[in-house]
Structure 1
Amino acid sequence: MTHLGVVFRPQLPPERLRTLARLADDTGLEELWLWEDCFLEGGISAASAALAWTERVRIGVGLLPVPLRNVAVTAMETATLHRLFPGRVMVGVGHGVQDWMGQVGARAESPLTLLREHLDALRALLSGERLTVDGRYVKLDGVALDWPPQEPVAVFAGATGPRTLRLSGEAADGTILTASTSADGVRRARRLIDEGRDTAGRSGSHQVVVYLLTATGPDAAPRLRAELAAEGVESVPDLGAAGDAGAIAKAVQRLADAGADSVVLQPTADEPDPEGFLRFAAQEVRPLVP
């Protein structure tokens, strides 16, 4: 089954989250995803509030920029969420936007090395291991969580380029793809992820989450075109979806057929009715997606 979600974009003020999280819960939406874009809203604080306000919807954080955090802090916060809300938390980590990382003095000389070290340590800590690590970026001396998750948990990695996609296959349990990923892009990502998994001898499932830029309503097409142009990807074929529930469901199905396990509808930054968009996703699009 393809999971369907919606992004709560941090262009909305934090005080809007409560209403939208509860609406996601009430309408039966499977996933609500949050972003930690600089310098808008904190991913862990927003996720903990959304989880506390709801009963069943899964909350994803996609993603936490690893240059901003010591891996022990990432592990502590992730483990706390999983113990408080078992089965309802999805946390992803990634490079972060390099310009933003530079603004706060955290830009890494080798983002790929940092992400690999962070992923390896994070997964080990969440598994209850005691670690001593002397890496290029990650340094731990006999560190273990007193309260690791009670069940195995998946760690997601955000990835776009080939090397990071292969790394995600090697060192993460799932991959988050941006809304700049077409169906063909999902297929390429799956191939690269599988190459990484083969290299590392990984088995089992590897969930792929992809955002789908989505607009509905009478001005859907021009709003979609404007956002794609603003992101510099207007020339990429088959990106985004605009129209009624049938049109959006077909776009979701194309991504699912290409290898996506979860498709997360990403409203445009100027979406005039976020609550209406969420209801549209849960009540009109969801029934059309197998």
Structure 2
Amino acid sequence: MRVGVFLPTVGRGGSPGDVVAYARHAEEHGLDAVWAGDQIVVGSGTPMLDAMIVLTTAAAVTERLRVGFGVLILPLRPVAAVAKQVSALQQLSGNRVLLGVGSGGTPHGVSSWQAVGVPQNDRGRLTDAALAVLPGLVTGKPTKLAHLPGTPTITLAPGSPMPPVIVGGAGRVAIRRTLEFGDAWFPSMVTPTSVAAVRQILHDGAEQRGRTPPGITTGVVASLGEGASSRQALVSSLANGFKMPLEQAESIPITGVGREAADRMATHFAAGAEELVVSFAGGDWFKQVELLAQARQSV
């Protein structure tokens, strides 16, 4: 049962010292990974640090902590460039990368696609094409890029071990991609009941394909401590934001302290999650990490 946290890189500029302090704090308190979201342009200019740079910094100042993309939007960049950076991060981190990937779904605006000159309607095709060739590129094998003009064959050197591919998204396309390309499925803000249902689908699909069933990494939100945000307010926010009934949203957040928080974490693990990736709804980030670590010890 692994627990990671999203670094607070959205809605702020920050400095290298911030990321260093965040990463070291998470490692010192026994968490398993830190994660960073990816986007080129957020909304109308909301600050957001680049995920590749953030995770490289985090890896450089820690020894054990894994560094995860939550998630890297593959079609925003040429796949060879992504592979080159991921391979370098694997080498420099000692193979601690968790390669969360996605296509950049509908919640994301058009600005990022306009900024890089990629048609947003092509994101699904480009994501599949990238996933098909990433392992060869990252590991340094000659790889034909059939989706590009001239179908070039590219060899990147030096290669590195391919990190786990963790496919983001809760819909049918994400589940199909997980079975076709992924080592794990990465939904966010879904109920334990939904996770348990998809766990069976992944198991059955893997059996049909003669492969090992993918794991499950689940993104959740937490507000920990006696003086933390109201649980009911958090549940209402989830219900409104993700268009789900209140009774479903009730099962998602991790709140309270000690045993209460541990029990809420345990419901996600019991449904099939092997790792929880936690984003905090508010409060002091460093204190929230400490409370999360305490609850994790009681699960």
Alignment TM class, shorter chain as reference: 0.7 to 0.9
Secondary structure, in 3 states, of the residue corresponding to 1:214?
Answer: strand
Q: Which residue of 2 aligns with 1:277?
A: 288
Higher deviation after alignment, 109-118 or 169-178 = 109-118
Which residue is 1:263 aligned to?
276
SS in 2 for 1:36: coil
Structure 2 residue 132 is the aligned partner of structure 1 residue 124: no
- Give the CA deviation at 1:17: 2.0
- Pick one of 87, 90, 95 that aligns with 1:79: 87
Taking the TM superposition and a 5 Å limit, the aligned residue runs for 1:165-184 are 165-178=175-188, 180-184=189-193
The aligned residue for residue 208 of structure 1 is: 216
Q: What TM-score results when the alignment is normalised by the length of structure 1?
A: 0.88
Between the aligned partners of 2:171 and 2:7, the Cα distance in structure 1 is 25
Q: Is 1:187 the counterpart of 2:196 in the alignment?
A: yes
Instruction: Kindly report which structure 2 residues correspond to 1:10-49, keeping only aligned pairs within 5 A, or say none.
Output: 10-15=10-15, 16-37=18-39, 38-39=41-42, 40-49=48-57
The aligned counterpart of 2:157 is 146
CA distance in 2, matches of 1:112, 1:227: 29
| Alignment partner, residue 242 of structure 1 | 255
5+ long unaligned stretches in structure 1: none
Q: Within 2, Cα distance between the matches of 1:267 and 1:219?
A: 10
The 1:202–1:107 alpha-carbon spacing in structure 2 relative to 1, beyond 3 Å, is farther
Aligned residue-pair number: 281
Task: Evaluate the alpha carbon distance shift between residue 177 and residue 23 of structure 1 in structure 2; reply closer, same or farther with a 3 A threshold.
Answer: same
Aligned AA for 1:183?
P
TM-score computed with the length of structure 2 as normaliser: 0.85
Q: Is the 8 A contact 1:242 1:248 kept in 2?
A: yes
Task: Report how far residue 11 of structure 1 moved.
Answer: 3.0
CA–CA distance in 2 between the matches of 1:23 and 1:43?
18
Q: Give, in angstroms, the shift of residue 152 of structure 1.
A: 4.3
The structure-2 alpha-carbon separation of the partners of 1:101 and 1:86, relative to structure 1 and needing over 3 Å to count, comes to farther
How far, CA to CA, are the matches of 2:205 and 2:125 in structure 1?
Answer: 15
Contact 1:21 1:53 in 2 (8 A): yes
Kept after mapping to 2: 8 A contact 1:168/1:196: no
Q: Which amino acid aligns with 1:277?
A: Q
SS at structure 1 position matched to 2:270: helix
Specify whether residues 50 and 278 from structure 1 end up closer, same or farther in structure 2 by C-alpha distance, changes over 3 A only: same
Show the counterpart of 1:134: 146
Query: Following TM superposition, by how much is the alpha carbon of 1:201 offset from its aligned partner in structure 2, in angstroms?
Result: 3.3
2:232 and 2:193 mapped to 1: Cα distance? 24
1:197 aligns with 2:206: yes
State whether residues 71 and 138 of structure 1, in contact with CA within 8 Å, keep that contact through their aligned partners in structure 2: no
Q: What 5-or-longer segments of structure 2 have no aligned partner?
A: 43-47
Describe the shift of the 1:154–1:164 C-alpha distance in structure 2 as closer, same or farther (beyond 3 A).
Answer: same
Post-superposition, which runs of at least 4 consecutive aligned residues in structure 1 deviate over 6 A?
A: none
Which residue of structure 1 aligns with residue 45 of structure 2? none
Other-structure match for 2:297: 287
Bigger RCO of structures 1 and 2 (CA < 8 A, at least 6 apart)? 1
Alpha-carbon distance between aligned partners in 2 of 1:108 and 1:118, rounded to the nearest angstrom: 15
Q: Show the counterpart of 1:57.
A: 65
Relative to structure 1, is the Cα distance of residues 42 and 199 closer, same or farther in structure 2, using a 3 angstrom cutoff? Answer: farther
Q: Post-superposition shift, 1:70?
A: 0.8
Identical aligned residues as a percent: 22
Distance 1:201 1:113 in 2: 25
Residue number in structure 2 paired with 1:100: 108
Q: Deviations over 1:203-229 (max 9, x none)?
A: 3x6231111111123243255235325
Deviations 1:251-288 (A, max 9, x none): 221111111110122211xx120010011112x11211
Aligned mates of 1:71, 1:145 — CA distance in 2: 12
Deviations for 1:225-248, whole angstroms, at most 9, x for unmatched residues?
353255244625112122112222
Shift of 1:192: 3.4
